[in-house]
Amino acid sequence: MKKLFVLIILVFAVCSCEKDGTNKIEEEKSITLPVLTSSTVSEITETSVKSGGNITNDGGAPITARGICWSTSANPTTNDNRTLDGTNAGSFTSSLNDLVENTIYYLRAYATNSEGTSYGNELSFKTLEKPKLVIEGDVNLRTQEMIDNFGAYGYERVSGNLLILASFGSNINSLKPLEGLNTVDGDFYIANTNLTDFEGLNNLAVVGGNIQIQYNNKLSSMGDLISLKEIGGFLDIDSNPSLKNLDGLENLTTISRWLDIDFNETLENIDALSNLKTIEYGLTIQSNPALKNINGLSSLTSVGYELTIDKNALITNLDGLKSLTKVGSYIVIS
């Protein structure tokens, strides 16, 4: 009887050990990815936002990392930008910084355990646009000191006219302080300066009125006008003896009034106007003795009123006008 009792105990012990071992294996196999949700986006600014997440199930293993990942493309992962916000389950808050203004972003909460990384639901948001610094009325800058002082305020828009009309003996040689300028609602004049280029105007996109560039003896490049797309009035490029081309006007498609290109002694080509399709009033190209052709006007289809091409000694053909189908009133070519 004692032998039988001992045998029963041994069998029970062996079975218990086998059962315990099975449970451990089952426990190890039961570890899964964490379960979580992304928190609503809040406190959106031009460069930052707040969000977070809530880990409702750690998957049976400790959370080793959690936070928010984000990108300008959908389905961001931890290989993109991310925050590190602790190692526990439950809810957490995240701050996203150094964002770009007026930009759409996508974010997801993430959590990592020994099984891997899982993600919450995707959310999107758009950062705010930085308010433009606007100066009301007309601005007249006659010296380099005045340009430097004006530029220090970082104005992005002038609601009136912007006149850079150098006084006699002026030392205006740089527009770099104006690099924040995006819009001039009225006219924009640059005359009588010592400028060699327009560095500082690379963000200027819209001029609501006229643009007049004249009597700038050292001006050799207009390349920094590359952002200019819209002119509400006329464009007058006149008497700039060192200007060899109009590079910088490649994005200009429409001029609402008149285009004048006159008395530029060394101007060799106007190829930068290749995207110009419409001039709503008139076109004058006159007295540019080094101008070899007008091929830069190859996309021009319409001139609303008058076309004048006169006293350009090296121009021998009008091939550049091959797309022109309409001139409203009269044509002068000599």
Residue 71 lies in a domain: yes
Q: How far apart are CA 278 and CA 300, in angstroms?
A: 6
Identify whether the C-beta of residue 292 lies closer than 8 Å to the C-beta of residue 267. no
How remote is the C-alpha of 69 from its chain's centroid?
23
- 2 in a domain, yes or no? no
Q: Residue 70 is part of a domain; what is its CATH number?
A: 2.60.40.10
- Same domain as 156, residue 60: no
Same domain for 287 and 307?
Answer: yes
Task: Report if residue 89 sits inside a domain.
Answer: yes
Q: Domain boundary residue among 76, 102, 126?
A: 126
The confidence score (pLDDT) of residue 29 equals: 63
Would the CA dihedral through 201, 242, 171, 165 be positive or negative?
negative
- Domain count of the fold of the chain: 2
**What confidence score (pLDDT) does residue 37 get?**
98
Domain of residue 140 covers 134-333
Q: How many other C-beta atoms lie within 10 A of the C-beta of residue 127?
A: 19
| Residue 26: inside a domain | no
Residue 313 has, within 13 A of its CA and on its CB side, a CA count of 6
The β-bridge partners of 125 are 105
Dihedral over Cα of 57, 61, 67, 73: its sign: negative
* Pair (164, 209) in one structural domain: yes
Q: Which of 126, 148, 163 is the last residue of a domain?
A: 126
82 within domain boundaries:
yes
How many CB atoms lie under 10 A from the CB of residue 3? 7
Note whether 229 and 314 are same-domain residues. yes
- What pLDDT score was predicted for residue 334? 82
Residues 201 and 323 in one domain: yes
**Position of tokens 């060699």?**
196
The amino acid that residue 292 corresponds to is K
Q: Does 141 lie in the same domain as 40?
A: no
Task: Mark whether 113 and 144 lie in a shared domain.
Answer: no
Asked, for residue 6, whether it belongs to a domain, the answer is no
For 259, residues 6+ apart whose C-beta sits below 8 A from its C-beta are 234, 235, 276, 279, 282, 283, 284
Residues 284 and 200 in one domain: yes
Confirm whether 9 is domain-assigned: no
Together in a domain, 92 and 197: no
pLDDT at position 185 is 97
Distance (Å) of CA 53 to CA 31, 32, 56, 117 = 21, 18, 10, 14
Q: Residue 306 belongs to a domain with what CATH number?
A: 3.80.10
Residue 194 corresponds to which amino acid? N
> Are 53 and 36 contacting, i.e. CB atoms less than 8 angstroms apart?
yes
Each residue's pLDDT tens digit in the chain (334 positions)? 444 444 444 444 444 444 455 455 445 569 999 999 999 999 999 999 999 999 999 999 999 999 999 999 999 999 999 999 999 999 999 999 999 999 999 999 999 999 999 999 999 999 999 888 999 999 999 999 999 999 999 999 999 999 999 877 678 999 999 999 999 999 999 999 999 999 999 999 999 999 999 999 999 999 999 999 889 999 999 999 999 999 999 999 889 899 999 999 999 999 999 999 999 999 999 999 999 999 999 999 999 889 999 999 999 999 999 999 999 888 998 8
Do 115 and 161 belong to one domain?
Answer: no
> Which residue among 104, 126, 148 closes a domain?
126
**78 part of a folded domain:** yes
Looking at the fold, whether 202 and 262 belong to one and the same domain comes out as yes
192 and 296 assigned to the same domain = yes
Which 3-state string (H, E, C) describes the chain?
CHHHHHHHHHHHHHHHHHHHHHHHHHHHHCCCCCEEEECCCECCCCCCEEEEEEEEECCCCCCCEEEEEEECCCCCCCCCEECCCCCCCEEEEEEECCCCCCCEEEEEEEEEECCEEEECCCEEEECCCCCCCEECCCEECCCHHHHHHHHCCCCCEECCCEEEECCCCCCCCCCHHHCCCCEECCCEEEECCCCCCCCCCCCCCEECCCEEEECCCCCCCCHHHCCCCEECCCEEEECCCCCCCCCCCCCCCEECCEEEEECCCCCCCCHHHCCCCEECCEEEEECCCCCCCCHHHCCCCEECCEEEEECCCCCCCCHHHCCCCEECCEEEEC
